Structure 1
Amino acid sequence: MTKLEKARDYEVKNQTDPNRQPAFHLTPPVGWMNDPNGFSVYNGKVHLFYQYHPYDLRWGPMHWGHQSSADMIVWDRMPVVLAPDQPYDQDGCFSGTAIATDAGHLLVYTGVTKENGVEVQNQCLAIGDGRVYRKLDRNPVVRGEMMPAGFSRTDFRDPKIWKEDENWWMVVGSRDEERGQIALFASDNGMDWKYERVLLAAEDGFGTMWECPDFFRLDGKSVLICSPQNVEAMDYTFHNGHNGVAFVGESDAMNFQGVKAQPLDYGFDFYAPQTTTLPDGRQVLIAWMSSWHSPIVASHQTWSAQMTLPRELSLRNGKLIQQPVRELETWYKETIRYKQVPIQEPQSVAGVEGRYVDFTIRFSKPATSEFTMELAKDERYGTRFTVDPKKGIVELDRTFSGLKEDVITIRRAKIPAEGIQTIRVVMDLYSIELFINEGEMVMSCVIPTAETANQIVFGSEEPIEIDLDFHTIDAPAIRAKREVLA
Structure 2
Amino acid sequence: MTSQTLREARKYEETFEKMIAEEERPAFHLSPRTGWMNDPNGFSWYQGKYHLFYQYNPYNSYWGPMHWGHAVSEDLLHWEYLPAALAPDEIYDRDGCFSGGAVTLPDGRQLLMYTGVVNERQPNGGHTEVQTQCLAVGDGTDYEKYENNPVLDEKDLPEGSSRNDFRDPKIWQDEDGTYCCVIGNRAADESGQVLLYTSQDGFRWEFKSILASNHNRIGKMWECPDFFRLDGKWVILTSPQDMLSQGFEYHNGNGTLCLIGDYDKETGKFIEESDQSIDYGIDFYATQTLLTPDGRRVMIGWMQNWDTCNHRRKHEEAWFGQVSLPRELSIQNGRLCQKPIRELEAMRCNRVAFENLTFSGNIYPEGLRGRRVDMEIVVRPVEGCDMYRKFAVRFAQNDQYQTSFSYRPGESVLKVDRKFSGSRRAIIHQRRSKVLCKDGVLKLRIILDRFSVEAFINDGEQVMTAVLYTDQEADGIYFSADGTVSIDVVKYDLL
Q: TM-score range by the shorter chain?
A: over 0.9
| Aligned match of 2:391 | 371
| One-letter amino acid of the counterpart of residue 12, structure 1 | E
Find the counterpart in structure 1 of residue 453 from structure 2. Answer: 432
Normalising by the residue count of structure 1, what TM-score does the alignment of the two structures yield? 0.94
Q: How many residues were matched structurally?
A: 474
Q: Which residue does 2:97 correspond to in 1?
A: 93
1:408-466 per-residue CA deviation (whole Å, 9 max, x = no partner) reads: 11111112253553100000001010000011010000011000000001011111111
SS in 1 for 2:151: coil
Distance 1:252 1:310 in 2: 30
1:171 to 1:146, Cα distance in 2 relative to 1, 3 A: same
Relative to structure 2, which stretch is displaced further, 366-375 or 451-460?
Answer: 366-375
| Residues 17-72 of structure 1: CA deviation (Å, up to 9, x unaligned) | 22211100100121110000000000110010000001111111100000100001
Amino acid in structure 2 at the alignment position of 1:146? D
Matching of residues 285-364 of structure 1 within 5 Å: 285-295=299-309, 296-297=311-312, 301-364=317-380
**Which one-letter code corresponds to 1:194 in the other structure?**
E
> How big is the shift at 1:149?
2.6
* 2:129 is the alignment partner of 1:109: no
Determine if contact 1:312/1:323 at 8 Å carries over to the other structure. Answer: yes
1:327-353 C-alpha deviation (Å, 9 max, x unpaired): 111111211222111232211111111
Aligned residue type for 2:184: G
Distance 1:258 1:248, change over 3 A: closer
Q: Which has the higher contact order (CA 8 A, sep 6+)?
A: 1
Give the corresponding residue for 1:143: 153
Paired residue for 2:164, among 146, 154, 159?
154
Partners of 2:216 and 2:96 lie apart in 1 by: 32
Q: Which residue is 1:257 aligned to?
A: 271
* Correspondence 1:236 to 2:248: yes
Counterpart among 22, 29, 52 of residue 25 in structure 1: 29
Is this contact kept in 1: 2:210–2:269, CA < 8 A? no
- The question of whether the paired residues in 2 share the 8 Å contact of 1:373 and 1:384 is answered with yes
In 2, Cα distance between the equivalents of 1:404 and 1:459?
26
CA positional deviation for 1:90: 0.5
- Secondary structure of 1:58's counterpart equals coil
Give the match for residue 479 of structure 1: none
CA deviation after TM superposition for structure 1 residue 222, in Å = 1.1
Amino acid at match of 1:139: N
Moved more, 113-122 or 155-164: 113-122
Decide whether the 8 Å contact of 2:30 with 2:322 is kept in 1.
yes
Amino acid at match of 1:309: L
Using the alignment, how far apart are the partners of 1:362 and 1:278 within structure 2? 31
2:243 and 2:323 mapped to 1: Cα distance?
22
Contact 1:423 1:436 in 2 (8 A): yes
Of 399, 402, 409 in structure 1, the residue corresponding to residue 429 of structure 2 is 409
CA contact (8 A) 1:125 1:139 kept: yes
Aligned residue runs from structure 1 range 221-232, under 5 A: 221-232=233-244
RMSD: 1.6
Query: Equivalent residue for 2:470?
Result: 449
Q: Secondary structure at the match of 2:180?
A: strand
Q: Which residue of 1 aligns with 2:9?
A: 7
> 1:341, 1:298 → 2: CA distance?
41
Residue identity in the other structure for 2:457: I
Match of 1:179 among 181, 191, 195: 191
CA drift at 1:404 = 0.3
Superimposed CA distance per residue, residues 260-307 of structure 1 (whole angstroms, 9 cap, x where no aligned partner): 321000101000010000000001000000111112226763100111
Partners of 1:145 and 1:228 in 2: CA distance: 25
C-alpha distance in 2 between matches for 1:168 and 1:33: 28
Give the stretch that moved more between structures: 283-292 or 183-192.
Answer: 183-192
Q: How far, CA to CA, are the matches of 1:364 and 1:382 in structure 2?
A: 23
Contact 1:247 1:256 (8 Å CA) reproduced: no
Query: Counterpart of 1:197 in 2: which secondary structure?
Result: strand
In the alignment, structure 1 segments of 5+ residues that lack a partner are 475-486
**Partners of 2:437 and 2:354 in 1: how far apart?**
27
Give SS of 2:219's match. Answer: coil
Shifted more, 30-39 versus 333-342: the winner is 333-342
Contact 2:263 2:271 in 1 (8 A): no
The one-letter amino acid of 2:7's match is E
Inter-partner Cα distance in structure 1 for 2:434 and 2:380:
21
CA contact (8 A) 1:49 1:67 kept: yes
Partner of residue 230, structure 2: 218
CA contact (8 A) 1:94 1:110 kept: yes
CA distance in 1, matches of 2:130, 2:248: 36
2:209 aligns with 197
* In 2: Cα distance, 1:420 partner to 1:150 partner: 51
Pairing 1:123–2:133 present: yes
Instruction: Report the residue type matching 2:205 in the other structure.
Output: W
Q: Kindly tell me: are residues 467 and 255 of structure 1, through their superposed partners in 2, closer, same or farther at Cα, counting changes over 3 Å?
A: farther
- Find the partner of 1:34 among 25, 31, 38: 38
Letter paired with 1:314: S
Task: Find the residue that maps to 1:339 and give its secondary structure.
Answer: strand
Partner of 1:480: none
Cα distance in 1 for residues equivalent to 2:413 and 2:231:
31
Does residue 71 of the first structure (1) align with residue 75 of the second (2)?
yes
Secondary structure, counterpart of 2:59 in structure 1: coil
Do the aligned partners of 1:32 and 1:303 also contact (CA within 8 Å) in 2?
yes
Contact 1:220 1:251 in 2 (8 A): no
The CA distance in 2 between the partners of 1:298 and 1:436, in whole Å, is 31
Partner Cα distance (1:415, 1:405) in 2: 29
Percent identical among aligned pairs is: 43
Q: Deviations over 1:456-481 (max 9, x none)?
A: 0101111111111111011xxxxxxx
Determine whether 1:464 maps to 2:485: yes
Bigger mean CA deviation after superposition, 355-364 or 114-123: 114-123
Q: d(CA) in 2 for partners of 1:252 and 1:322?
A: 26
| Unaligned ranges ≥5, structure 2 | 123-127
Q: Which amino acid in the other structure matches residue 434 of structure 2?
A: K
CA deviation string 1:385-404 (max 9, x = no partner): 11012233111111100000
